[in-house]
A = this chain, B = another copy of it.
């Protein structure tokens, strides 16, 4: 932690401050010259709030030198994390494809689509039961019933299932779910993060619409600190000034997260684009950039979908996309 002091300052106060910090077990180094006065604090500085430091009058600014996340940090865990999801692996070179409709609409619908996405090459089935919708007047998902239908689809096809949790009180319904998804809007719902951190289930942690890489990894840290290190990061587009597409897929997140963390990262091109026309090029781009998997919305009748039909691929288009994804992986990895 680097502290820049204001120009004309009271040295007695600073000495008191330094002693105080040292007493707590940190090391402090002074770099004072005529132009600039700097303190460097080393040790477990993730425990020090920069806000606390900034509140002293003799402090001009504070910058962290060390990342504030530990369990998610690649420096402390150089090897890729590999997560086993009911026999299917992700991370360390294993590529995972999750597909299915935005919402579970009926038992028939989810079983029918599950069979199709399995046939076309998906390893896991997705489907929304509890749906976070911007408008209270939009379809909110079938809830508990949808979870039952997903479990039936799992029995019929053998595909593991992925679905989103919106509130910790619903966790009791997730026993047979293979990956619990935390949505972008809940990325900093810390109560929920702590609760899923107490399970052993793989957690799919979507990046918030305007979350920095550091905030995203700190959200993973919340889960990991409770004992659950099975976190899969998922980039799904960020909010920018551009409105021609719904969100801008942050392709740089792939190499940057791979550098900062050992956790696997997958891409959701469907929510980023908000339009099925862009799903294939974004899937191919993400694959080429080195992501560990994809989560793609597939519906056999997009125009009848109760939500997000505009961004769903047909099973045929999904199959074509997956073939190209595999070709890229064979060509360069």
How far does the alpha carbon of A288 sit from the alpha carbon of B326 in the complex, in Å?
12
Question: At the interface, yes or no: A2 with Cβ under 8 Å from chain B?
Answer: yes
Whether B210 pairs with A239 at a CB distance below 8 angstroms is yes
Question: At the interface, yes or no: A10 with Cβ under 8 Å from chain B?
Answer: no
Instruction: Evaluate whether A221 and B332 lie within 8 angstroms (CB atoms) in the complex, with A33-B42, A66-B36, A242-B250 already known.
Output: no
How far does the alpha carbon of A255 sit from the alpha carbon of B284 in the complex, in Å?
12
| Contacting residues of chain A (32-76) with chain B, CB-CB under 8 angstroms | 33, 35-36, 38, 40, 42-43, 46-47, 49-56, 63, 65-66, 68, 75
**Using Cβ atoms and an 8 Å threshold, which residues of chain B touch A38?**
40, 65
Which of B66, B254, B273, B330 lies in contact with A35, CB distance below 8 A?
B66
Whether A251 pairs with B214 at a CB distance below 8 angstroms is no
Question: At the interface, yes or no: A303 with Cβ under 8 Å from chain B?
Answer: yes
A188 to chain B, nearest CB (A): 4
Question: At the interface, yes or no: A137 with Cβ under 8 Å from chain B?
Answer: yes
A284 to chain B, nearest CB (A): 4
Whether A29 pairs with B31 at a CB distance below 8 angstroms is yes
Question: At the interface, yes or no: A97 with Cβ under 8 Å from chain B?
Answer: no
> A154-162, A198-206, A307-315: which lies at the B interface?
A307-315
Question: At the interface, yes or no: A89 with Cβ under 8 Å from chain B?
Answer: no
Instruction: Evaluate whether A46 and B137 lie within 8 angstroms (CB atoms) in the complex, with A65-B4, A66-B35 already known.
Output: yes
- The closest CB in chain B to the CB of A237 belongs to B252
**Using Cβ atoms and an 8 Å threshold, which residues of chain B touch A51?**
274, 305, 307-311
Whether A55 pairs with B133 at a CB distance below 8 angstroms is no
**Using Cβ atoms and an 8 Å threshold, which residues of chain B touch A137?**
46-47, 68
A189 to chain B, nearest CB (A): 6
Question: At the interface, yes or no: A79 with Cβ under 8 Å from chain B?
Answer: no
| Contacting residues of chain A (236-252) with chain B, CB-CB under 8 angstroms | 238-245, 248-252
Whether A284 pairs with B240 at a CB distance below 8 angstroms is no
Question: At the interface, yes or no: A287 with Cβ under 8 Å from chain B?
Answer: yes
Question: At the interface, yes or no: A121 with Cβ under 8 Å from chain B?
Answer: no
Which of B42, B134, B138, B284 lies in contact with A36, CB distance below 8 A?
B42
Whether B166 pairs with A312 at a CB distance below 8 angstroms is no
- The closest CB in chain B to the CB of A223 belongs to B136
A139 to chain B, nearest CB (A): 8
- The closest CB in chain B to the CB of A247 belongs to B252
A138 to chain B, nearest CB (A): 6
> A105-113, A145-153, A173-181, A275-283: which lies at the B interface?
A275-283
Q: Which residues of A contact B (CB under 8 A)?
A: 2, 4, 7, 27, 29, 31, 33, 35-36, 38, 40, 42-43, 46-47, 49-56, 63, 65-66, 68, 75, 132-139, 166-169, 185-186, 188-192, 194, 209-210, 212-215, 218, 221-222, 225, 238-245, 248-252, 254-256, 259-260, 272-278, 281-282, 284-290, 302-303, 305-312, 324, 327-328, 330-332
5 shortest interchain CB distances as A-B pairs: A55-B309, A54-B310, A210-B210, A288-B288, A167-B191
Supply 12 A–B pairs (Cβ within 8 Å), ascending by A: A36-B42, A135-B221, A136-B190, A136-B225, A167-B192, A169-B191, A213-B242, A248-B250, A251-B251, A284-B332, A330-B331, A331-B331
